Structure 1
């Protein structure tokens, strides 16, 4: 009762706009992160600014956007109308100020909340904006949302448009680094959805002529089974084909926004494409057989979309502005007309598609018996199995704020898994311990997933047998030694994921744990070094008498030390497929027969313990000479 009486007017605090954003950044940009994940905050900051440029293009103003990112600083310039000069400061520093509240000007915009650039401003240690309109220029500079320079309007010969430059605040985004592949993927998506727009990123041009058809061609693993089906209508565009990998692969968009977590439009497309194809053949095919190996993209435009979070990664809208139709009816009616017509006109494609469906049906039936045996075995194993040390929170716990932190570490051997288990966060970090080297699954069928106990248990731990949406951990982290055996195990696991669950990699769920190669310490200080460069810096800082320990395996690192490497300062290297990379080609090179080209690659990149020891000795000698 005493605590209740202490709740007075003094407890009520009003935060100004920037304080609120800085105190609760997750509300505005999702998770913070250091740039290792595609949905980390630093990319959301970029996206918020680019969205405004895209809206200008959609309204017919400016066909080019210039983007630069170097050493943590980002600059973005469009050639639209430019912010009205008298409102430049307000637009980037006053909540609920913006042009998008006037729905006549921005009917199907992504950012309708007037928060975007204000969040970028508040979360940047340096933020500068200027607008050019008809020979006049107005600029403003901020530091962490505080206006520090507000010069008067000046004359200029620059073209109309808006320029924004910012540096994410290192107090909030600790040790961040932009990863170019993530930025490139984001830029390509803008281009696919806005044909005719040219984006120049660090001087390189990105442009799309065929929209979602280009997206699938650039992201297709190997040759598709039949030519990409590309259909367009009012406020909707879809493209799909079937590939040669397992699973279902979707790209979904709303008003130009990449909805990475799907939503009502994604669900409606999955249902409708299966129903329309089933009706076309007039056969009772299973929806899962129809969709097996599908690669598809769907883009819709919606008036005032409702998203399930501020970062707009999942659409919640149930209706579209097409006669008040539900999203399901809108997409189903479109496919029923356009796809049905297409399949009637393209007989060869229809035949290939049906052959693929029958093949999937046959494989599913062949697997049904072995699945039951494997499930029974997995149930028994889970009662006694000590391979998985689970955590309390899972990605499927939709109401838990920490679901995005959920991580499964896959380790080799008992000593490494023991160290991680003792030092992990039991709420969000789980550990799966491998027994020896896994099987090389290159060229094998999905039957092996059920016949091989270890792979079946990994599949069960992740809960991805039936649907990727059931995935229990946001991050799957391969934690192996940095030696030859460890690297081999890493490749065997990646082969398994890429072969049977490629979506895990494509959706940025798979990472490699970076652990320190060296510990450098003197009596006062200890530094953990992840590279040769960091070791040299540590040696210079701590002096020539510093003790250097080379970690050869994870088992050598004590639990007390391990907590530093899997906690707040965890370093993860995302597993990414470069644009146009074929999974089949990658796996054939690394995991196929021992080809001369692979032998050359290994020899060219091989480093042995002796070389490292020589470098350590040489560095100590250089520091001794310098001192």
Structure 2
């Protein structure tokens, strides 16, 4: 017998949504994560990107060398000087799905957007949207509210050709959002590096690159690079590479001006081409990791029909690009090394040192293999989840990002284990403070059981591309010991697996510091002193304030809400790797007097009543 309150599944249960309704109901399908602006991939930045991408497409096709962006409060304005949207199609191009000029290869050969979706999504997700196209002394302007047309105007004007867009993200979809200018500035620099000669202006500041990816790597490496950047550019591929004495590899990859932070076939082909080129020039048979350790590389390609894994275009899937990229990179590197003996000598010396280091690591791994096999089953503190990156999820489960929590001891791990999502959330419990990795060689990790197990649990022992989780989340107490453990873990990743950080996979879990509650009423959880004081004032004199000294003090029942839909994750981000060695040396090195002086001069004391 069906339950009395069950809803009948009949014709009335079937709904057909308009394109506008679908975008607003499922915005994540169009712009990825929503967020509040605290992460560089949050939706409010994707809205800006979608509009600028159209301006970049104009530049690629030889129209307009200037793009202007300004932000005042929550209002975003973007102006380019390309051809301008055809005046009779302005409304359709910004509001009707699958409408655009990028289906025509004669008009847009190497465009970023292909599906006629991006600008429509921005329109639909904005509480106010204005578009103004100018062509040959005439303009057509249209305004919208949450994707619904509210007005049109047209006539003559004295403006230069191009497109003007102004919008305000809808606060009902992006609650409490705020733009972080440093995220926008970094994205604009990427545009500049990828489009030599294009001048971008943000609130009056200019972003311009003359040498493309060469400028990018010089900015990233500073004085850390061992030799001048090797750079190559043709009509369809550009790449640059150099080496430093750091461990691990760092890479940047782009398709039609789009940053593919998860790489794809073009990045794999670039790495293969580097390997083949260096081996051909040297007459050796070096392994891939012997060449890539310490390598900083960037590759950008232009392709007519890119196939991305999602609308947010994080990873390229085209397989037909492999052969041409491998051949172009190999030939260019061989040619460059023959013509630049000073660079070739330094590069091959670095590779030879890598080879020696990896031989030593293999010896350490061989000695410890028997012990590892005995203890592998007790990677002891790993409570794995059912699904990982790339796994196919059952139809009855909604796919989500997988994550692993790195916790401080068994107490916090116990609370997490009770309330976690076993499908997507894993737990790795640390035993005390991990080793300080600053200044250590890579083989030292294999003499440290816990860091070895951590590396194996993440799947990054051989290659960062084998990472098993979308998010690596540091979940430690907010006390002195917890913060120290957090710093030690970040140091570990920056020293040996910096690409994991640069690709946006490392996070810190934010948990409440206080619980403010009146008897028999729902508690209020606060993440700062200010939130605590506001909640206490609102609840009145009978409010009881509890301070959580550690994650283990939060009951499993409470903890569930802090790692569920309302989870607060603070991304660990880097502008570039240039100053990282210096910063790590100061905070994690042996300069105790200088560090003590800095701490004493900057110490803030908080008193809790």
Supply the distance in 2 between the matched residues of 1:532 and 1:126 (Cα, whole angstroms): 35
Question: What secondary structure sits across from 2:279 in the alignment?
Answer: helix
Supply the distance in 2 between the matched residues of 1:70 and 1:457 (Cα, whole angstroms): 48
Q: 1:143 to 1:150 in 2, by over 3 A?
A: same
Supply the distance in 1 between the matched residues of 2:441 and 2:154 (Cα, whole angstroms): 67
Residue in structure 2 matching 1:488, options 484, 487, 495: 484
Residue 600 of structure 1 and its aligned partner are, at CA, apart by: 3.2
Residue 525 of structure 1 and its aligned partner are, at CA, apart by: 4.2
Supply the distance in 2 between the matched residues of 1:542 and 1:12 (Cα, whole angstroms): 45
Contact 1:216 1:239 in 2 (8 A): yes
For residue 79 of structure 2, what is the aligned residue in structure 1? Answer: 77
Q: 1:426 to 1:336 in 2, by over 3 A?
A: closer
Supply the distance in 2 between the matched residues of 1:137 and 1:541 (Cα, whole angstroms): 53
Supply the distance in 1 between the matched residues of 2:450 and 2:274 (Cα, whole angstroms): 35
The reply to whether residue 87 of structure 1 matches residue 89 of structure 2 is yes
Residue 516 of structure 1 and its aligned partner are, at CA, apart by: 1.6
Residue in structure 1 matching 2:459, options 459, 463, 488: 463
Q: 1:45 to 1:375 in 2, by over 3 A?
A: farther
Q: 1:425 to 1:92 in 2, by over 3 A?
A: same
Which stretch shows the higher mean deviation, 575-584 or 52-61?
Answer: 575-584
Contact 1:407 1:430 in 2 (8 A): yes
The reply to whether residue 103 of structure 1 matches residue 105 of structure 2 is yes
The reply to whether residue 354 of structure 1 matches residue 361 of structure 2 is no
Task: Please list, as runs of the form range in 1=range in 2, the aligned pairs for 1:308-323 lying within 5 A after superposition.
Answer: 308-319=309-320
Q: 1:12 to 1:556 in 2, by over 3 A?
A: closer
Task: Please list, as runs of the form range in 1=range in 2, the aligned pairs for 1:468-547 lying within 5 A after superposition.
Answer: 468-523=464-519, 524-547=521-544
Residue 466 of structure 1 and its aligned partner are, at CA, apart by: 0.6
For residue 580 of structure 2, what is the aligned residue in structure 1? Answer: 583
Summarize deviations over 1:228-254 as a string: whole Å, max 9, x none.
101122311110011222222211111
Residue 404 of structure 1 and its aligned partner are, at CA, apart by: 5.3
Residue 70 of structure 1 and its aligned partner are, at CA, apart by: 5.2
How many residues align? The count is 600
For residue 141 of structure 1, what is the aligned residue in structure 2? Answer: 143
Supply the distance in 1 between the matched residues of 2:529 and 2:78 (Cα, whole angstroms): 35
Q: 1:332 to 1:112 in 2, by over 3 A?
A: same
Contact 1:440 1:591 in 2 (8 A): yes
Residue 158 of structure 1 and its aligned partner are, at CA, apart by: 4.3
Question: What secondary structure sits across from 2:152 in the alignment?
Answer: coil
Contact 2:186 2:575 in 1 (8 A): no
Which stretches in structure 2 are left out of the alignment for 5+ residues? 3-7
Q: 1:402 to 1:499 in 2, by over 3 A?
A: farther
For residue 5 of structure 2, what is the aligned residue in structure 1? Answer: none
Contact 2:262 2:503 in 1 (8 A): no
Residue 505 of structure 1 and its aligned partner are, at CA, apart by: 0.9
Supply the distance in 1 between the matched residues of 2:74 and 2:56 (Cα, whole angstroms): 23
Question: What secondary structure sits across from 1:230 in the alignment?
Answer: strand
Contact 2:277 2:331 in 1 (8 A): no
For residue 342 of structure 1, what is the aligned residue in structure 2? Answer: 336
For residue 239 of structure 1, what is the aligned residue in structure 2? Answer: 240
Contact 2:307 2:317 in 1 (8 A): yes
Supply the distance in 2 between the matched residues of 1:76 and 1:218 (Cα, whole angstroms): 26
For residue 290 of structure 2, what is the aligned residue in structure 1? Answer: 289
Supply the distance in 1 between the matched residues of 2:76 and 2:386 (Cα, whole angstroms): 38
Supply the distance in 2 between the matched residues of 1:43 and 1:258 (Cα, whole angstroms): 13
Contact 1:233 1:334 in 2 (8 A): no
For residue 406 of structure 2, what is the aligned residue in structure 1? Answer: 410
Summarize deviations over 1:194-222 as a string: whole Å, max 9, x none.
11112222332211111000111111275
For residue 599 of structure 1, what is the aligned residue in structure 2? Answer: 596
Question: What secondary structure sits across from 1:150 in the alignment?
Answer: strand
For residue 612 of structure 1, what is the aligned residue in structure 2? Answer: 607
For residue 419 of structure 1, what is the aligned residue in structure 2? Answer: 415
Which stretch shows the higher mean deviation, 461-470 or 551-560?
Answer: 551-560
Residue 187 of structure 1 and its aligned partner are, at CA, apart by: 1.2
The reply to whether residue 568 of structure 1 matches residue 565 of structure 2 is yes
Residue in structure 2 matching 1:32, options 31, 34, 38: 34
Which stretches in structure 1 are left out of the alignment for 5+ residues? 320-326, 617-627
Supply the distance in 1 between the matched residues of 2:392 and 2:67 (Cα, whole angstroms): 37
Contact 1:395 1:404 in 2 (8 A): no
TM-align CA RMSD:
2.4
Supply the distance in 2 between the matched residues of 1:451 and 1:133 (Cα, whole angstroms): 68
Task: Please list, as runs of the form range in 1=range in 2, the aligned pairs for 1:129-528 lying within 5 A after superposition.
Answer: 129-147=131-149, 149-220=150-221, 222-319=223-320, 327-397=321-391, 405-523=401-519, 524-528=521-525
Summarize deviations over 1:243-286 as a string: whole Å, max 9, x none.
22222221111111112222221111111110121011112222
Supply the distance in 1 between the matched residues of 2:399 and 2:490 (Cα, whole angstroms): 24
Supply the distance in 2 between the matched residues of 1:539 and 1:8 (Cα, whole angstroms): 50
With the length of structure 1 as denominator, give the TM-score of the two structures.
0.90
Question: What secondary structure sits across from 2:469 in the alignment?
Answer: coil
Residue 362 of structure 1 and its aligned partner are, at CA, apart by: 0.8
Which stretch shows the higher mean deviation, 523-532 or 413-422?
Answer: 523-532
Question: What secondary structure sits across from 2:121 in the alignment?
Answer: helix
Summarize deviations over 1:466-505 as a string: whole Å, max 9, x none.
1111101111111111111111111111111111111111
Supply the distance in 1 between the matched residues of 2:371 and 2:590 (Cα, whole angstroms): 33
Residue 145 of structure 1 and its aligned partner are, at CA, apart by: 1.7
Summarize deviations over 1:138-191 as a string: whole Å, max 9, x none.
3323232222x2132255454432222333334444544434333222211110
